[in-house]
Chain A
């Protein structure tokens, strides 16, 4: 047998054995360990992932959280999921997206509220099977906020005039360059009320609490862990141990390895994002980027 024929034969045999062992392991359920996935929800809940360049700690983009939930759902070794919540809330859409994803998962999900699990974060927590919170944690805050900065008087002071050209009388509602009319205030308030009502319905349905009771509690007031337990907004006071015990009980397992499903930001990610940021700021100029926010509310926004 020639030299290279022999080498190819050895490599072929080695690859075949390796392939067969890997397929056997993948197919053998008993070999896989029981695992509990911990998915963090830190900082403000947003829909996009561009809020933090380096560590993704300041915000929890819904796309990232949903991706982690999907991975945990797909992994047969993961028997349950713990949401580690430390967030004051975020946008309605992002909170709803995460909440809807949790409801579709057929594995037990437990919320573990650490320092804060309020507003949108609490909305998410209610969609899980069980809520554990520290007695001193801040939770609840069932309410909706819609605010904006209004610069019209400042502009007036500097002789800057807002020329209003609109097609559709509400097209520039919320622009920071003029005061809201009473009609517009009512309009925006009605939208906020609708979202508030949806929030109340969601909490009532998820927590199986009477709608009127939730309505009474949904003043936007936050509650400490102990108060929240008395009001039925959470299920248990405790920490990670209590959350782990509960999830093991729900998953009907005795032992499990705890694995963090936090997305790791690689060096390549950081470099890619830094490059993207640099290109953006060099290309458009810092001044342009500041005015981009204002322009989004201007006559040219779609």
Chain B
């Protein structure tokens, strides 16, 4: 009797691994993206807080800084995940992303990472992940992607 072909099991990455990978990526982004603005913000005697976005305190230059940091952070996550299926944090933690669809589209990596650059979405994402039984992020689910152990 012919042997049954075993279906390849997808081993989901644990929350701890995913969080650590995110922390590593955040440190890299701080160094590469935010650091060049440090001198300017220091000279302005300003500490940027996300809540400042909702006040009238921010002026055009600070909006540009916020926008630049957000876009470049998104490019970091999207470009690396689209081409390599991994960011530096994920490489270190030995995890990667896969598409649950047949194809792997750029729109999927943009959707799954949009919450990482908009704090309020990240907050919703984390709450959803903690409450959901499968411990998946909301934007991970929407993008039809999965983080697995490499």
Show the binding face of A for B, using Cβ within 8 Å.
Answer: 3, 6-7, 10-11, 14-15, 17-19, 21-23, 25-26, 28, 31-33, 71, 74-75, 77, 257, 259, 261
Contacts and interface: CB of A to CB of B under 8 A. Distances in A.
The prevalent SS among residues of B at the interface is: helix
Contacts of A75: 43-45
A75 B45 CA distance: 9
A6 B75 CA distance: 13
A202 to B, nearest CB: 30
B40 A18 contact: no
Contact of B76 (A6, A14, A23, A31): A14
Contacts of A259: 45
A104 to B, nearest CB: 20
A25 B45 contact: no
B45 A18 contact: no
Nearest to A261: B45
A291 to B, nearest CB: 43
Contacts of A23: 36
Interface stretch (B8-16, B55-63, B105-113, B118-126): B55-63
B72 A26 contact: no
Contacts of A257: 57, 59
20 contacts: A3-B84, A6-B83, A7-B80, A10-B80, A11-B28, A11-B32, A14-B33, A18-B32, A21-B37, A21-B64, A21-B65, A21-B68, A22-B37, A25-B65, A31-B61, A32-B61, A71-B45, A75-B43, A257-B57, A259-B45
B148 interface: no
B51 interface: no
B36 A10 contact: no
A217 B79 CA distance: 74
B40 A25 contact: yes
B101 interface: no
B44 A77 contact: yes
Give the most central of B36, B59, B75, B79: most A CB within 10 Å. Answer: B36
B88 interface: yes
A31 B60 contact: yes
A77 B80 CA distance: 38
